[in-house]
Amino acid sequence: MNKLENYVTGSWITGDGEGQTLFNAVTGDPIAAASSKGLDFSAMADYARKVGNPALRKMTFHERGRMLRALATHLQQHLPEFYRISYQTGATKADSWIDLEGGIGNLFSYASLRRRFPNETYCVDGESHNLSKQHSFMATHLLVPKEGVAIHINAFNFPVWGMLEKVAVNWLAGMPAIVKPATVTSYLTEAVVKKIIASGILPEGALQLICGSAGDLLDHVQSQDVVTFTGSAYTGLKLKSHPAILRESVPFNMEADSLNCIVLGEDVEPGSADWEVFIKEIRKEMTAKAGQKCTAIRRIFVPDSKLEAVWKAVATSLEQTIIGNPLNEKVRMGALAGATQKQEVLEQVDKLLAGSQLVYGSLNSVQLLDADPVKGSFISPLLLVNERPFENLAPHEVEAFGPVSTIMPYKSAEEAIELSRLGKGSLVSSVVTSNPAIARNYVLGAGPWHGRILVLNQQCAKESTGHGSPLPLLVHGGPGRAGGGEEMGGLRGVKHYMQRLAVQGSPDMITAISNVYQPGATGKEDVVHPFRKYFEEIVVGDQLLTGRRTITESDISNFANLSWDHFYAHTDHTSLEGTLFEKPVAHGYFILSAAAGLFVDGSAKGPVLLNYGLDELRFMKPVYAGNTIRVKFTCKEKIEQEQKLDTDLPRGIVKWLVEVSDETGDQVAVATILTMVRKKSVDPSD
């Protein structure tokens, strides 16, 4: 039998012994064996730290992002092959789409996030802080890649997305990964990793794979490593309390059981558009991936007067679902991942049935299209009703990881919130309502117990990404029973793999270290005007101290006429009593425009292509007619821009700190403006 290979310290190798046999979830046929016996897990971790980590760490965010994009594009070319393998996990085409294309989409999303980072190997995190009266001592925060390895122990339900959603983030941060998928579906992960490695897109050591048990891998974790886990709360607790993880203070990100709920708002009437949205969402969440989604709806809370109407409508909707061989295009729900998973779901349903009644589906039989109910791991969708949700607590505690959901009544909005909390922390909840007060009350009440809340109604349903879809830019994770972890979340996720450190020192030192000009640092004056320099020639700290301009009354009235901004503070010469001003004040935008008039040098064509916009702008002190302003204009930061087309002008964005002061030396305005500046290397006029 085909034995899966592990990718270990740069080579594909099989484990010792016969290994665990893996089966086609639809036909029950054996397809491969997995073994990681005999692997040197300590050497794997070491290799990642010593080979993969330095290679990734020395790449800039932009280089890492482009690597992700190249990898995503490469994997897209192999999708037909991945789909063929994915069917064997019991997944329909739509289920596989989530796993495969969702995972690749995640790589693309994180690739795009590179633009939110500097073209450096590290970055500044948040604002700087002046810590002294004379502005000679300050601090900022930096994020630097950790020097360890990210170890991902994943669940069986998303063999590809589960890997890619995590590695995209650690690679962008500059860390390598060891991936250990759940054994039962690891044949699909292996197929994808083979394509990844063969592409040569990743630096050596950036990815290793274990198909089979994790062995003693966790015994070898060190303090610079990060471990993530997705799976059962039972295993999660065991791993989280592993002595090496505790001893080395290794961050452990866990995503475990989650009894996600959906709430029908009290405003929604049977037959209304929102009602249809509600019923459809439940059916989708129960049947997609045969309910084997960490985010699937397990609990359904409805106003007690609508209990019967809801279960009848959900049952009618579930009846439409064709179950069977996912290779048949008519099939909407496939099989569970394997016989063990089926057995486990039935055992959990047994616990749920102690206080609930089954109102749809059968424990013993299921009508199938093109599939054998004995050989395949199929199960009927099972809809339960628990009429006493505050007394019978099983649905708030037992996760049946399949197409199983329990409907429960509530009497008031507060009760619905209370019921959602009984899940003791979930990944996601939805509330279906068109009433903003109901939505707000629910979001604020249930918020502390959830990682994500979807407010769903007819307005957004058509374009909604749905209750069950974690998105790359949004936080995925939940408090309490859901594991207390947080994955993805855009930039937030990248920070999990970087060390945040506060750096204190003089503005000159912090400027030199961060490569971002800090107020108070020594500027670099030059005979060449900053606007006459090409992108490559501009240096952070390049500074221009401009000439002076005295503001006149006619400047202010002319600007009012030109801009049509006749706000009283600029135009009222007789009655400003009771306002913040003594006499007509210059428009803030005029001061900024006048500042531009002082710092711009552009009478002849030059490298500056355009004004790209403004990041921050503050007016600190009124400027009246008679005041004289001048500008300190300093290069704050440079941002590389990529050429999308060969015909694009090579260029970058330069951020400038504009500090406007009056004749007393007081600052009257501060702004960060952005210009687009041409690169010299390829200026055709050169």
Which are the catalytic amino acids? 255, 294
Asked if residue 418 lies in contact with residue 392, where contact means CB atoms within 8 angstroms, the answer is: no
Give least dist CB 1 to ligand NDP, A: 18
Q: Judged by CB under 6 A, does residue 189 bind ligand NDP?
A: no
For residues 652 and 613, what is the distance between their CA atoms, to the nearest angstrom? 14
- CB nearer ligand NDP, residue 253 or residue 514: 253
Asked if residue 171 lies in contact with residue 71, where contact means CB atoms within 8 angstroms, the answer is: no
Of positions 257, 266, 637, 662, contacts ligand NDP by CB under 6 A: 257
The residue count for the chain: 686
Q: Could you tell me which stretch among 50-58, 176-184, 307-315, 380-388 binds ligand NDP (CB under 6 A)?
A: 176-184
For residues 398 and 312, what is the distance between their CA atoms, to the nearest angstrom? 24
- CB nearer ligand NDP, residue 397 or residue 565: 397
Give least dist CB 255 to ligand NDP, A: 5
For residues 268 and 432, what is the distance between their CA atoms, to the nearest angstrom? 8
DSSP codes of every residue in 474-543? SEE--SGGG-S--EE-THHHHHTTEEEEEEEE-HHHHHHHHSS--TTSPPEE-SS-GGGS-GGG--TTEE
For residues 25 and 189, what is the distance between their CA atoms, to the nearest angstrom? 16
- CB nearer ligand NDP, residue 182 or residue 586: 182
Q: Judged by CB under 6 A, does residue 182 bind ligand NDP?
A: yes
Give least dist CB 218 to ligand NDP, A: 6
Q: Could you tell me which stretch among 147-155, 199-207, 370-378, 523-531 binds ligand NDP (CB under 6 A)?
A: 147-155
Give least dist CB 599 to ligand NDP, A: 54
Give least dist CB 382 to ligand NDP, A: 15
Of positions 57, 62, 78, 180, contacts ligand NDP by CB under 6 A: 180
Helix axes 186-199, 79-86, angle to 10 degrees: 170
Of positions 153, 197, 335, 428, contacts ligand NDP by CB under 6 A: 153
Site map (CB under 6 A) of ligand NDP, residues 275-294, x = contact: -------------------x
Of positions 124, 256, 349, 544, contacts ligand NDP by CB under 6 A: 256
- CB nearer ligand NDP, residue 67 or residue 475: 475
Burial label for 383, CB within 10 Å (0-12, 13-18, 19+), is buried
Site map (CB under 6 A) of ligand NDP, residues 196-235, x = contact: -----------------xx---------------xxx--x
Give least dist CB 377 to ligand NDP, A: 13
- CB nearer ligand NDP, residue 307 or residue 404: 404
> Which parts of 25-180 are beta strand (E)?
30-34, 123-124, 129-130, 138-145, 150-153, 177-180
Q: Which strand (E) or helix (H) includes residue 105?
A: helix 102-112
Of positions 6, 53, 88, 258, contacts ligand NDP by CB under 6 A: 258
- CB nearer ligand NDP, residue 184 or residue 279: 184
Q: Judged by CB under 6 A, does residue 344 bind ligand NDP?
A: yes
Give least dist CB 257 to ligand NDP, A: 5
Give least dist CB 109 to ligand NDP, A: 20
- CB nearer ligand NDP, residue 404 or residue 560: 404
- CB nearer ligand NDP, residue 232 or residue 672: 232
Residues 6+ positions from 201 with CB-CB distance below 8 Å: 67, 70, 71, 74
Give least dist CB 150 to ligand NDP, A: 15
Asked if residue 307 lies in contact with residue 409, where contact means CB atoms within 8 angstroms, the answer is: yes
Q: Judged by CB under 6 A, does residue 339 bind ligand NDP?
A: no
Here the tokens at position 497 are 């793999």
Q: Judged by CB under 6 A, does residue 506 bind ligand NDP?
A: no
For residues 169 and 450, what is the distance between their CA atoms, to the nearest angstrom? 22
Asked if residue 150 lies in contact with residue 170, where contact means CB atoms within 8 angstroms, the answer is: yes
Q: How many residues bind ligand NDP (CB under 6 A)?
A: 25
For residues 452 and 12, what is the distance between their CA atoms, to the nearest angstrom? 39
Asked if residue 21 lies in contact with residue 78, where contact means CB atoms within 8 angstroms, the answer is: no
- Give percent helix, percent strand, percent coil of the chain, each to the nearest 5: 35, 25, 40
| Residue closest to ligand NDP (Cβ) | 231
Q: Could you tell me which stretch among 122-130, 249-257, 354-362, 654-662 binds ligand NDP (CB under 6 A)?
A: 249-257
Least Cα distance to 401 among 350, 469, 348 occurs for: 348
Here the tokens at position 253 are 């990100």
Of positions 4, 155, 221, 660, contacts ligand NDP by CB under 6 A: 155
Least Cα distance to 467 among 300, 268, 253 occurs for: 300
Give least dist CB 469 to ligand NDP, A: 14
- CB nearer ligand NDP, residue 413 or residue 428: 428
User: Segment 374-413, which members bind ligand NDP (CB under 6 A)?
Assistant: 399, 401
For residues 427 and 297, what is the distance between their CA atoms, to the nearest angstrom? 10
- CB nearer ligand NDP, residue 27 or residue 235: 235
| Contact residues for ligand NDP, defined by CB under 6 A | 153-157, 180, 182-184, 213-214, 230-232, 235, 238-239, 255-258, 294, 344, 399, 401
